């Protein structure tokens, strides 16, 4: 199966995941709003996006809920979702998706695949000005929390697979041999996570909490790489023209431009280095 889920299993099985879930969801706190992570209320605000009365249409609570995950729907699009054709088109797709079906279950792939209702709804949202793939996914995750993952750049960074994330995750959760589903059940028991929080959300939170402080956004990585490459180029130039100043004698030298091009700095500029270290869990 392309792209191993081993790192996800290791993160979920690590002791730190228990503490991370307790912190994120304020488990054990007498007030659910006691968490410093607003995302801990994402799936529960206003009774949840899959509430019986509103499960097939977006309501204001859903648009507020995604702000708890640090994204915002642009106001003109919000009106279209709540009162316009976009909202009606999204409802038509939501009506084709049961709130009970979970990613990894039989038949879920038909909903998630190209041409499936979840994919169509995502495409409708993604086509809107100011709504990126992260926001589109979070809106759908609010309506179908068992089926659609909360997926952002931090989780994407950990996964390290170019495949479609929804289908990739479906396959790994459906295949018992990966151990991912069993690991999520173990973590649920260990952290005593309430039943109304889905396995999928447990995975989202465990992975996000693990990497959120270590993650370096791609734009920052690119800027750093440019700066590093510029410094490298200056050093090559100074070395080849004999204009090296006393102050940089201790810095690395390259005998030629070709040597500089094959240096780690060059590799970084080409984006082949992860540039963003993932704190690998210690194997149990």
Closer residue to Zn ion in complex, CB, 124/207: 207
Which of 254, 213, 247, 217 has its CA nearest to residue 232?
A: 254
Total chain residues near Zn ion (CB under 5 A): 3
Alpha carbon dihedral 165, 42, 202, 32, in 10-degree steps, equals 170
For CA atoms 105, 205, 127, 276, the dihedral sign is: negative
For Zn ion, the binding residue among 10, 73, 157, 268 (CB under 5 A) is 157
Please choose, out of 28-36, 51-59, 238-246, 275-283, the segment that lies near Zn ion by the rule CB under 5 A: 275-283
Q: Which is nearer to Zn ion, 216 or 227 (CB)?
A: 216
What backbone phi and psi angles, to 5 degrees, belong to 11? -65, -45
Residue closer to Zn ion by CB (options 26, 276) is 276
Q: How many CB atoms lie within 10 A of CB 198?
A: 23
Residue closer to Zn ion, measured from CB, 167 or 276: 276
**What separation in angstroms does the CA of 8 have from each of 11, 168, 181, 241, 283?**
5, 12, 10, 50, 12
Nearer of residues 174 and 276 to Zn ion, judged by Cβ: 276
**In whole angstroms, how close is the CB of 41 to Zn ion at the nearest point?**
25
Site for Zn ion in 85-124 (CB under 5 A): none
Cβ of residue 276: shortest distance to Zn ion, in angstroms?
3
Q: Is-contact 155 134, C-beta < 8 A?
A: no
DSSP conformational letter for 281: P
| Residues 157, 215 contacting (CB under 8 angstroms) | yes
Residues 199-228, mask of contacts with Zn ion (x by CB under 5 A): ----------------x-------------
Site membership for Zn ion, residue 276 (CB under 5 A): yes
Considering only residues 165 through 194, tell me which ones interact with Zn ion, judged by CB under 5 A: none
Interface contacts to Zn ion, rule CB under 5 A:
157, 215, 276
């Amino acid at each position: 199966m392309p792209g191993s889920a081993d790192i996800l299993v290791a993160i979920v099985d690590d002791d730190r995941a228990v503490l991370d879930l307790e912190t994120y969801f304020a488990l054990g706190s007498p007030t659910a709003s006691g968490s410093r992570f607003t995302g801990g209320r994402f799936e529960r605000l206003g009774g949840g996006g899959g509430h019986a009365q509103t499960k097939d249409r977006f309501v204001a609570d859903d648009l507020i809920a995604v702000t708890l995950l640090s994204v915002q729907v642009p106001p003109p699009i919000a009106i279209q979702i709540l009162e316009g054709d976009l909202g009606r088109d999204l409802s038509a797709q939501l009506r084709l998706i049961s709130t009970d079906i979970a990613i990894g279950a039989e038949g879920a792939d038909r909903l998630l695949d190209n041409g499936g209702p979840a994919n169509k709804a995502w495409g409708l949202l993604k086509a809107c000005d100011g709504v990126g793939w992260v926001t589109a996914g979070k809106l759908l995750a609010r309506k179908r929390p068992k089926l659609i993952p909360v997926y952002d750049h931090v989780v994407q960074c950990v996964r390290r697979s170019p495949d479609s994330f929804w289908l990739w995750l479906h396959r790994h959760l459906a295949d018992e041999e990966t151990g991912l589903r069993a690991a999520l059940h173990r973590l649920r028991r260990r952290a005593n996570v309430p039943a109304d929080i889905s396995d999928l959300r447990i995975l989202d939170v465990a992975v996000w909490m693990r990497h959120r402080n270590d993650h370096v956004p791609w734009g920052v990585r690119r800027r750093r790489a440019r700066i590093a490459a510029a410094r490298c180029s200056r050093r090559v130039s100074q070395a080849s023209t004999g204009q090296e100043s006393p102050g940089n004698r201790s810095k690395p030298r390259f005998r030629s431009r070709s040597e500089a091009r094959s240096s780690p700095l060059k590799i970084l500029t080409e984006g082949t280095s992860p540039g963003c270290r993932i704190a690998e869990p210690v194997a149990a």
